[in-house]
Amino acid sequence: MLSTENNNSTRLGWVDYARGVAILLVVNVHCAAGIQGSTLAMPEPFGSLYYAGMLGFAMALFFFLSGVIASGATERSPGAHLRGKWWGVVYPYLLWSTVLVVLRSAMNDQVNNPMELDRLATIAWDPVQQMWFLYALLFCFAAYAVLRCLPWWLHLGVALAMNMGQSTLDAGVLNECLAHYLFFCLGSLSAVWLKRAAGTVRMGDAVGLLLVYGVAVTHYAFSIVVPDMWGAHPVVATMPRWIHVALLGIAAAVAVCAVAARGRTAPWLATLGRYSLAIYMTHLFATAGTRIVMQQVLGVDSVAMHVLAGTMAGIVFPLTICFLSRSLGVGLLMGFGSAATSPRTPGVLPSSPLTPVVSLGELVQRARRAVDHRTAGIQSSSR
């Protein structure tokens, strides 16, 4: 039997593991999507099965985990809760949306989806590519700040109504906001129970959930590719989009990550989870650059090689940029926040959906220490 201290560590550690799984799947699928958008493509129905299986729950899992984390900040007022999202959500959104538009405008001939600089004028209501996640996440935090005072059953009812109602709209990112708040809400409502359950889930539970998820995602993918031959079950077909697949995927991921965290298996996944913000913001630059070099310079046309190399680049490049920026004391200005470098205090969840964020005062202190250190080095060398 695990001690109380180990149980506390497990209850917190599985969150980082789950974020690591989610960001790995997101990078992988975005890499594959870039390949599909070029002259290469995956054969069907494997392509649809791949996308449904990988991305069918990865983003929903991020929203779910954000809800779990948000539930630990209920003692803060709604205004203070939202003001704390500037460095963790709003600033990275503005910064990396600008960088993405500028680079795509400068590389019109090499990228799949070229942009013009005037695209920056619309990011307030029309996010650029993967930045929709931060846009929708801020919506979820705002909605949670208003709705968290409701009884749990009413809160869940409103979230479910949002999810079902968005299918009747054609409002761009608003559809994503309304659809994903359900997972955010479920995460916040189940946070207390998950803290207890994470220490009791067994490998058999995780494997069983994975098998059920595999059956569900296969059925979902084939219902898209060949609906006449293998149509969806009437009950499943009435559920908005991929909600049933996402919920099963979340359950399977949480169970697997709880077991992995308890056994300290594959700790690199937890590291990816702690740096998931940096990876999410910058991975497309690496995956797109890798695809362009491999296809146009090296002449590689193997889809498997593109996916493998692009996924590795989409992980290694952001981590390198993140480590370099933090070593220079500019991690917060780069929109990366500050990843945990030591075990968290038992019972305390991180305050940001992707990675904890340092204050502006701490950033100034780091910059001053870096300047003082370099000044001292110059003076000593001049002597």
User: What does the alpha-carbon distance between residue 232 and residue 220 come to, in Å, rounded to a whole number?
Assistant: 7
Task: Count how many Cα atoms sit within 13 Å of the Cα of residue 159 in the half-sphere of its side chain.
Answer: 29
Low-confidence ranges of the chain (pLDDT < 70): 1-12, 36-53, 55-56, 73-79, 81-82, 108-113, 221-241, 337-383
**DSSP assignment string, 107-127:** TTTTSSS---GGGGGGTTTS-
Query: What is the value of pTM for the model shown?
Result: 0.79
Q: What residue type is 22 in one-letter code?
A: A
Nearest alpha-carbon partner for 55 in 176, 160, 229: 176
User: What does the alpha-carbon distance between residue 373 and residue 375 come to, in Å, rounded to a whole number?
Assistant: 5
The answer to whether 37 and 114 have CB atoms below 8 angstroms apart is no
The SS3 assignment for 79 reads: helix
Q: How far apart, in Å, do the first and last CA atoms of the chain sit?
A: 62
pLDDT at 341: 37
pLDDT at 250: 92
Helical packing angle, 4-37 and 173-197, nearest 10°: 150
The domain total for the chain is 1
Instruction: Give the list of residues 6+ apart from residue 299 with CB closer than 8 angstroms, or none.
Output: none
Q: Which domain, by its residues, includes 332?
A: 4-382
The answer to whether 252 and 213 have CB atoms below 8 angstroms apart is yes
Q: What angle do CA 223, 228, 229 make, to 5 degrees?
A: 80
- Classify residue 178 as exposed, middle or buried by CB count within 10 Å of its CB (0-12, 13-18, 19+): buried
Q: b/e map of 47-74 (b: 16 or more CB within 10 Å)?
A: bbbbbbbbbbbbbbbbbbbbbbbbbbbe
pLDDT at 256: 93
The answer to whether 52 and 327 have CB atoms below 8 angstroms apart is no
In eight-state DSSP terms, residue 241 is T
Number of residues in the chain: 383
Strand boundaries in the chain, DSSP class E: none
pLDDT at 36: 64
- Summarize pLDDT for 20-48 with one digit per residue, the tens: 999 998 998 888 777 765 666 666 666 66
- The kind and range of the H/E element at 142 are helix 132-147
User: What does the alpha-carbon distance between residue 244 and residue 56 come to, in Å, rounded to a whole number?
Assistant: 10
Instruction: Give the list of residues 6+ apart from residue 200 with CB closer than 8 angstroms, or none.
Output: none
User: What does the alpha-carbon distance between residue 273 and residue 304 come to, in Å, rounded to a whole number?
Assistant: 25
The answer to whether 278 and 322 have CB atoms below 8 angstroms apart is yes
Longest CA pairwise span in the chain (Å): 82
pLDDT at 107: 72
CA 276 vs CA 19, 70, 347: distances in Å: 7, 17, 21
Instruction: Give the list of residues 6+ apart from residue 307 with CB closer than 8 angstroms, or none.
Output: 28, 31, 32, 35
Place of tokens 């949306």: 97
Number of other CB atoms surrounding residue 336 within 10 Å: 27
Instruction: Give the list of residues 6+ apart from residue 330 with CB closer than 8 angstroms, or none.
Output: 367
**DSSP assignment string, 257-297:** HHHHHHHT--HHHHHHHHTHHHHHHHHHHHHHHHHHIIIII
The answer to whether 338 and 74 have CB atoms below 8 angstroms apart is no
CA 301 vs CA 21, 39, 304: distances in Å: 27, 9, 9
